[in-house]
Amino acid sequence: MSPRVIDIHAHAVLEAGFGQAGSWGPELGVDDSGTPFFRVGDTTMPGMAYRGSVFMDVGQRLDLMERAGIDLQLLSPNPLTYLHGIPAAEATHYCQVHNDAMADLVRDHPGRLLGAAALPMQDVDAAMAELERAVRQLGLAAPYVGTDFGYLLDDPRLDDFYRTLVELDVPLFLHPGSAGVGGTPDDPRLHRFDLSLLVGYCYDETLAVTALVFGGVLERHPDVDICVSHGGGAWPFLVERFELAATTRRWVPESLRDGGIRSQLRRLWLDSHVDGHAALDLLVQAVGTDRLVFGTNFGGWDSAHREASEPLIQSFTPNAERLLRLVPTEAARVITTATTTSGGGADHADRPTAEEPP
Protein backbone atom coordinates (compact mmCIF):
# COMPACT_ATOMS: atom_id res chain seq x y z
CA MET A 1 0.00 0.00 0.00
CA SER A 2 1.36 3.41 -1.00
CA PRO A 3 1.93 5.93 1.81
CA ARG A 4 -0.55 8.75 2.08
CA VAL A 5 0.41 11.98 0.30
CA ILE A 6 0.52 15.18 2.38
CA ASP A 7 0.47 18.57 0.64
CA ILE A 8 1.79 21.44 2.76
CA HIS A 9 1.51 24.21 0.13
CA ALA A 10 -2.16 24.93 -0.53
CA HIS A 11 -3.58 28.43 -0.10
CA ALA A 12 -7.20 29.14 0.75
CA VAL A 13 -9.37 32.24 0.50
CA LEU A 14 -11.92 32.61 3.30
CA GLU A 15 -15.20 34.48 2.88
CA ALA A 16 -15.12 35.65 6.50
CA GLY A 17 -11.96 37.68 5.90
CA PHE A 18 -13.41 40.06 3.33
CA GLY A 19 -13.62 43.62 4.62
CA GLN A 20 -11.92 42.79 7.92
CA ALA A 21 -8.74 44.88 7.44
CA GLY A 22 -10.33 48.32 7.36
CA SER A 23 -9.66 50.31 4.21
CA TRP A 24 -7.31 47.57 3.05
CA GLY A 25 -10.25 45.24 2.43
CA PRO A 26 -9.69 42.61 1.22
CA GLU A 27 -12.47 42.95 -1.32
CA LEU A 28 -13.72 40.51 -3.92
CA GLY A 29 -16.15 41.98 -6.42
CA VAL A 30 -17.24 42.54 -10.01
CA ASP A 31 -16.74 45.82 -11.86
CA ASP A 32 -19.25 47.59 -14.12
CA SER A 33 -18.10 45.59 -17.15
CA GLY A 34 -18.74 42.31 -15.38
CA THR A 35 -15.05 41.57 -14.79
CA PRO A 36 -14.27 40.05 -11.39
CA PHE A 37 -11.56 41.70 -9.32
CA PHE A 38 -9.72 41.29 -6.03
CA ARG A 39 -8.59 44.37 -4.11
CA VAL A 40 -6.11 44.80 -1.26
CA GLY A 41 -5.55 48.43 -0.31
CA ASP A 42 -4.69 50.45 -3.41
CA THR A 43 -3.96 47.35 -5.47
CA THR A 44 -6.79 46.00 -7.63
CA MET A 45 -6.23 42.77 -9.54
CA PRO A 46 -8.73 42.17 -12.36
CA GLY A 47 -9.77 38.71 -13.44
CA MET A 48 -9.41 37.08 -10.02
CA ALA A 49 -12.64 35.16 -9.43
CA TYR A 50 -12.00 33.17 -6.26
CA ARG A 51 -15.63 32.27 -5.66
CA GLY A 52 -16.54 28.99 -7.30
CA SER A 53 -12.89 27.89 -7.40
CA VAL A 54 -10.90 25.45 -5.26
CA PHE A 55 -9.66 28.43 -3.23
CA MET A 56 -13.12 28.93 -1.72
CA ASP A 57 -15.18 25.87 -2.64
CA VAL A 58 -14.16 23.08 -0.27
CA GLY A 59 -16.16 20.51 -2.23
CA GLN A 60 -14.15 21.24 -5.36
CA ARG A 61 -10.95 21.10 -3.32
CA LEU A 62 -11.71 17.68 -1.87
CA ASP A 63 -12.74 16.31 -5.28
CA LEU A 64 -9.53 17.58 -6.90
CA MET A 65 -7.45 16.25 -4.01
CA GLU A 66 -9.01 12.84 -4.59
CA ARG A 67 -8.21 12.93 -8.31
CA ALA A 68 -4.68 14.19 -7.63
CA GLY A 69 -3.94 11.48 -5.07
CA ILE A 70 -3.55 13.92 -2.16
CA ASP A 71 -4.78 12.52 1.14
CA LEU A 72 -4.14 15.38 3.57
CA GLN A 73 -3.64 19.07 2.89
CA LEU A 74 -2.45 21.99 5.01
CA LEU A 75 -4.51 25.06 4.12
CA SER A 76 -2.60 28.33 4.38
CA PRO A 77 -3.43 32.04 4.04
CA ASN A 78 -3.52 33.70 0.63
CA PRO A 79 -0.13 35.43 0.01
CA LEU A 80 -2.06 38.48 -1.21
CA THR A 81 -3.46 38.93 2.28
CA TYR A 82 -0.50 38.51 4.62
CA LEU A 83 -0.87 42.27 5.21
CA HIS A 84 2.45 42.62 7.01
CA GLY A 85 2.82 46.21 5.83
CA ILE A 86 -0.46 47.68 7.11
CA PRO A 87 -1.14 49.16 10.58
CA ALA A 88 -0.85 46.48 13.25
CA ALA A 89 -4.35 46.95 14.66
CA GLU A 90 -6.05 46.25 11.32
CA ALA A 91 -3.72 43.32 10.63
CA THR A 92 -4.34 41.79 14.06
CA HIS A 93 -8.11 41.97 13.67
CA TYR A 94 -7.94 40.47 10.20
CA CYS A 95 -5.75 37.59 11.40
CA GLN A 96 -8.08 36.81 14.29
CA VAL A 97 -11.12 36.63 11.99
CA HIS A 98 -9.18 34.63 9.41
CA ASN A 99 -7.92 32.11 11.95
CA ASP A 100 -11.35 31.59 13.50
CA ALA A 101 -12.74 30.86 10.03
CA MET A 102 -9.82 28.58 9.15
CA ALA A 103 -10.34 26.57 12.34
CA ASP A 104 -14.05 26.17 11.57
CA LEU A 105 -13.29 25.02 8.02
CA VAL A 106 -10.76 22.32 8.85
CA ARG A 107 -12.75 21.13 11.87
CA ASP A 108 -15.51 20.09 9.46
CA HIS A 109 -13.12 17.90 7.44
CA PRO A 110 -11.06 15.81 9.87
CA GLY A 111 -8.38 13.65 8.33
CA ARG A 112 -8.41 15.62 5.06
CA LEU A 113 -7.57 19.22 5.97
CA LEU A 114 -5.30 20.97 8.46
CA GLY A 115 -5.22 24.73 8.98
CA ALA A 116 -2.39 27.26 9.22
CA ALA A 117 -2.65 30.59 11.00
CA ALA A 118 -2.14 34.11 9.69
CA LEU A 119 -0.13 36.37 12.03
CA PRO A 120 0.38 40.17 12.26
CA MET A 121 4.17 39.98 12.05
CA GLN A 122 4.64 43.76 12.01
CA ASP A 123 3.88 43.60 15.77
CA VAL A 124 5.83 40.72 17.35
CA ASP A 125 3.92 40.81 20.64
CA ALA A 126 0.59 40.69 18.82
CA ALA A 127 1.91 37.91 16.58
CA MET A 128 2.96 35.81 19.57
CA ALA A 129 -0.39 36.33 21.29
CA GLU A 130 -2.29 35.30 18.16
CA LEU A 131 0.03 32.35 17.62
CA GLU A 132 -0.70 31.03 21.11
CA ARG A 133 -4.43 31.51 20.62
CA ALA A 134 -4.38 29.86 17.20
CA VAL A 135 -2.54 26.79 18.48
CA ARG A 136 -3.91 26.39 22.00
CA GLN A 137 -7.53 27.45 21.48
CA LEU A 138 -8.20 26.92 17.77
CA GLY A 139 -6.06 23.83 17.17
CA LEU A 140 -4.35 25.21 14.07
CA ALA A 141 -1.25 23.30 13.04
CA ALA A 142 1.26 26.09 12.35
CA PRO A 143 1.69 29.75 11.42
CA TYR A 144 2.13 30.50 7.71
CA VAL A 145 3.52 33.98 7.10
CA GLY A 146 5.45 36.08 4.58
CA THR A 147 9.17 36.69 4.33
CA ASP A 148 9.23 40.50 4.76
CA PHE A 149 7.81 42.06 7.91
CA GLY A 150 9.48 45.44 7.50
CA TYR A 151 12.51 44.08 9.36
CA LEU A 152 14.82 41.09 8.89
CA LEU A 153 14.22 37.48 9.83
CA ASP A 154 17.38 37.50 11.94
CA ASP A 155 16.35 40.63 13.83
CA PRO A 156 16.72 40.05 17.60
CA ARG A 157 13.12 41.19 18.12
CA LEU A 158 12.06 37.82 16.66
CA ASP A 159 14.01 35.73 19.17
CA ASP A 160 11.05 35.52 21.57
CA PHE A 161 8.82 34.57 18.63
CA TYR A 162 11.15 31.72 17.65
CA ARG A 163 11.23 30.58 21.29
CA THR A 164 7.43 30.60 21.35
CA LEU A 165 7.32 28.31 18.31
CA VAL A 166 9.53 25.82 20.16
CA GLU A 167 7.49 26.07 23.36
CA LEU A 168 4.25 25.44 21.45
CA ASP A 169 5.95 22.69 19.43
CA VAL A 170 4.81 23.98 16.03
CA PRO A 171 6.76 24.67 12.83
CA LEU A 172 6.90 28.00 11.01
CA PHE A 173 6.09 28.19 7.30
CA LEU A 174 7.57 31.06 5.26
CA HIS A 175 6.15 32.00 1.86
CA PRO A 176 6.64 35.39 0.15
CA GLY A 177 3.81 37.86 -0.07
CA SER A 178 3.10 39.47 -3.40
CA ALA A 179 5.24 42.57 -3.98
CA GLY A 180 3.37 45.85 -3.70
CA VAL A 181 0.28 44.31 -2.06
CA GLY A 182 -0.63 45.00 1.54
CA GLY A 183 2.04 47.64 2.02
CA THR A 184 5.09 45.50 1.25
CA PRO A 185 7.94 47.01 -0.83
CA ASP A 186 7.58 47.01 -4.58
CA ASP A 187 10.04 46.96 -7.48
CA PRO A 188 8.55 48.42 -10.69
CA ARG A 189 10.77 46.15 -12.78
CA LEU A 190 8.69 43.22 -11.57
CA HIS A 191 5.54 44.62 -13.21
CA ARG A 192 6.59 43.23 -16.61
CA PHE A 193 6.26 39.69 -17.93
CA ASP A 194 4.74 38.33 -14.69
CA LEU A 195 8.15 38.74 -13.06
CA SER A 196 6.58 39.27 -9.63
CA LEU A 197 5.62 35.60 -9.82
CA LEU A 198 8.45 34.21 -11.91
CA VAL A 199 11.32 36.01 -10.14
CA GLY A 200 9.95 37.94 -7.16
CA TYR A 201 9.05 34.95 -5.00
CA CYS A 202 12.36 33.23 -5.69
CA TYR A 203 14.22 36.42 -4.81
CA ASP A 204 12.41 36.77 -1.48
CA GLU A 205 12.88 33.11 -0.59
CA THR A 206 16.59 33.34 -1.31
CA LEU A 207 16.89 36.38 0.96
CA ALA A 208 14.88 34.61 3.67
CA VAL A 209 17.14 31.54 3.70
CA THR A 210 20.22 33.78 3.67
CA ALA A 211 18.99 35.69 6.73
CA LEU A 212 18.24 32.47 8.60
CA VAL A 213 21.62 30.89 7.79
CA PHE A 214 24.02 33.86 7.82
CA GLY A 215 22.04 35.74 10.47
CA GLY A 216 22.50 32.94 12.99
CA VAL A 217 18.82 32.19 13.60
CA LEU A 218 19.33 28.43 13.39
CA GLU A 219 22.31 28.60 15.73
CA ARG A 220 20.46 30.68 18.33
CA HIS A 221 17.37 28.48 18.06
CA PRO A 222 18.56 24.94 17.33
CA ASP A 223 15.15 23.41 18.06
CA VAL A 224 13.05 25.63 15.81
CA ASP A 225 11.56 24.09 12.66
CA ILE A 226 11.21 26.49 9.72
CA CYS A 227 9.93 25.48 6.28
CA VAL A 228 10.59 27.76 3.29
CA SER A 229 8.49 27.54 0.13
CA HIS A 230 9.60 26.62 -3.39
CA GLY A 231 12.76 24.81 -2.37
CA GLY A 232 14.27 27.88 -0.70
CA GLY A 233 14.33 29.99 -3.86
CA ALA A 234 17.69 30.06 -5.66
CA TRP A 235 19.65 28.52 -2.79
CA PRO A 236 20.07 25.06 -4.38
CA PHE A 237 21.64 26.77 -7.40
CA LEU A 238 23.75 29.19 -5.35
CA VAL A 239 24.85 27.03 -2.42
CA GLU A 240 28.35 26.45 -3.80
CA ARG A 241 28.72 30.19 -4.40
CA PHE A 242 27.79 30.85 -0.77
CA GLU A 243 30.30 28.19 0.30
CA LEU A 244 32.97 29.93 -1.77
CA ALA A 245 32.14 33.20 0.00
CA ALA A 246 32.60 31.44 3.34
CA THR A 247 36.20 30.65 2.44
CA THR A 248 37.07 34.12 1.12
CA ARG A 249 34.95 36.78 2.84
CA ARG A 250 36.08 37.95 6.27
CA TRP A 251 32.58 38.81 7.50
CA VAL A 252 31.37 35.21 7.30
CA PRO A 253 31.08 33.71 10.83
CA GLU A 254 33.59 30.99 11.68
CA SER A 255 30.74 28.54 12.29
CA LEU A 256 29.76 28.73 8.60
CA ARG A 257 33.18 27.77 7.28
CA ASP A 258 34.28 24.21 6.46
CA GLY A 259 30.85 22.83 5.60
CA GLY A 260 28.88 24.97 8.03
CA ILE A 261 26.73 26.60 5.37
CA ARG A 262 25.43 23.34 3.92
CA SER A 263 24.96 21.97 7.43
CA GLN A 264 22.80 24.96 8.37
CA LEU A 265 20.88 24.80 5.09
CA ARG A 266 20.00 21.18 5.82
CA ARG A 267 18.55 22.27 9.16
CA LEU A 268 15.76 24.02 7.28
CA TRP A 269 12.72 22.31 5.84
CA LEU A 270 11.97 23.05 2.18
CA ASP A 271 8.91 22.31 0.12
CA SER A 272 9.39 20.46 -3.15
CA HIS A 273 7.24 22.78 -5.26
CA VAL A 274 9.88 23.63 -7.84
CA ASP A 275 9.18 23.46 -11.54
CA GLY A 276 10.49 20.49 -13.48
CA HIS A 277 12.50 17.38 -12.68
CA ALA A 278 15.85 19.11 -13.22
CA ALA A 279 15.05 21.67 -10.51
CA LEU A 280 13.89 18.94 -8.14
CA ASP A 281 17.06 16.95 -8.81
CA LEU A 282 19.15 20.04 -8.02
CA LEU A 283 17.21 20.57 -4.79
CA VAL A 284 17.78 16.98 -3.68
CA GLN A 285 21.47 17.22 -4.58
CA ALA A 286 21.85 20.38 -2.48
CA VAL A 287 19.99 19.36 0.68
CA GLY A 288 19.18 15.65 0.50
CA THR A 289 15.67 14.36 1.16
CA ASP A 290 15.44 14.21 4.96
CA ARG A 291 13.72 17.61 5.25
CA LEU A 292 11.89 17.93 1.95
CA VAL A 293 8.09 18.03 2.03
CA PHE A 294 5.59 17.88 -0.80
CA GLY A 295 3.87 21.10 -1.91
CA THR A 296 1.66 21.88 -4.89
CA ASN A 297 0.41 25.50 -4.78
CA PHE A 298 -2.89 23.68 -5.12
CA GLY A 299 -5.20 25.25 -7.70
CA GLY A 300 -2.64 27.91 -8.58
CA TRP A 301 -1.22 28.76 -11.97
CA ASP A 302 1.75 26.42 -11.44
CA SER A 303 0.01 23.60 -9.58
CA ALA A 304 2.03 20.38 -9.42
CA HIS A 305 -0.71 17.80 -8.98
CA ARG A 306 0.91 15.42 -11.45
CA GLU A 307 3.80 14.72 -9.07
CA ALA A 308 1.76 13.28 -6.20
CA SER A 309 2.06 9.68 -7.37
CA GLU A 310 5.82 9.72 -7.93
CA PRO A 311 7.81 7.49 -5.56
CA LEU A 312 10.14 10.35 -4.59
CA ILE A 313 7.19 12.54 -3.61
CA GLN A 314 5.61 9.73 -1.61
CA SER A 315 8.92 9.23 0.19
CA PHE A 316 8.48 12.74 1.64
CA THR A 317 5.41 11.66 3.63
CA PRO A 318 7.30 10.75 6.85
CA ASN A 319 9.01 14.15 6.68
CA ALA A 320 5.66 15.97 6.53
CA GLU A 321 4.33 13.85 9.38
CA ARG A 322 7.30 14.88 11.53
CA LEU A 323 7.12 18.53 10.52
CA LEU A 324 3.38 18.79 11.21
CA ARG A 325 3.63 16.79 14.44
CA LEU A 326 1.36 14.07 13.08
CA VAL A 327 3.63 11.57 14.80
CA PRO A 328 4.63 11.99 18.44
CA THR A 329 7.70 14.11 19.19
CA GLU A 330 9.67 14.23 22.41
CA ALA A 331 8.51 17.79 23.06
CA ALA A 332 4.87 16.81 22.58
CA ARG A 333 5.22 13.87 24.97
CA VAL A 334 6.79 16.07 27.64
CA ILE A 335 4.08 18.74 27.34
CA THR A 336 1.27 16.19 27.27
CA THR A 337 2.66 14.47 30.37
CA ALA A 338 3.02 17.79 32.19
CA THR A 339 -0.52 18.95 31.42
CA THR A 340 -2.00 15.57 32.31
CA THR A 341 -0.11 15.45 35.61
CA SER A 342 -1.03 19.01 36.56
CA GLY A 343 -4.63 18.72 35.43
CA GLY A 344 -4.09 21.64 33.05
CA GLY A 345 -5.86 22.47 29.82
CA ALA A 346 -5.99 20.32 26.69
CA ASP A 347 -3.64 22.49 24.60
CA HIS A 348 -1.39 20.05 22.72
CA ALA A 349 -3.49 17.03 23.56
CA ASP A 350 -6.19 18.45 21.28
CA ARG A 351 -3.85 18.81 18.33
CA PRO A 352 -4.03 16.16 15.57
CA THR A 353 -1.87 13.08 15.46
CA ALA A 354 -1.53 10.35 12.85
CA GLU A 355 -4.00 8.23 14.81
CA GLU A 356 -6.42 11.02 15.68
CA PRO A 357 -7.53 13.29 12.78
CA PRO A 358 -7.87 17.03 13.44
State the DSSP string of 303-338: --GGGTTSHHHHTTHHHHHHHTT-S--HHHHHHHHH
Tell me: the pLDDT tens digits for 110-161? 999 999 999 999 999 999 999 999 999 999 999 999 999 989 999 999 999 9
Residue with the larger pLDDT of the pair 235 and 165: 165
pLDDT band at 277 (very low <50, low <70, confident <90, very high): confident
**Confidence check: pLDDT of 308 > 70:** no
Tell me if 23 is assigned to some domain. yes
**Confidence check: pLDDT of 3 > 90:** no
Tell me if 355 is assigned to some domain. no
Tell me if 358 is assigned to some domain. no
Question: Which CATH number do you get for residue 336?
Answer: 3.20.20.140
Tell me: the pLDDT tens digits for 185-241? 567 887 788 777 788 788 899 999 999 999 999 999 999 999 999 999 888 898 889
Distance from the Cα of residue 26 to its chain's centroid: 20
Q: How many CB atoms lie within 10 A of CB 148?
A: 20
Angle at 21 between CA 142 and CA 33, to 5 degrees: 115
Q: How far is CA 276 from CA 132, 208, 303, 304, 320, in A?
A: 38, 23, 12, 9, 21
State which residues form the domain around 297: 6-350
Tell me if 92 is assigned to some domain. yes
Tell me if 112 is assigned to some domain. yes
Length of the chain: 358
Tell me if 34 is assigned to some domain. yes
Tell me if 357 is assigned to some domain. no
Give all strands of the β-sheet with 113-117 in edge-to-edge order.
6-12, 72-77, 113-117, 142-145, 172-174, 226-228, 269-271, 292-293
Based on the structure, what is the number of domains in the chain?
Answer: 1
How confident is the model at residue 182, as a pLDDT? 55
- According to DSSP H, which parts of 83-133 are helical? 88-107, 124-132
- Give the least confident one: 34-43, 62-71, 90-99, 187-196: 187-196
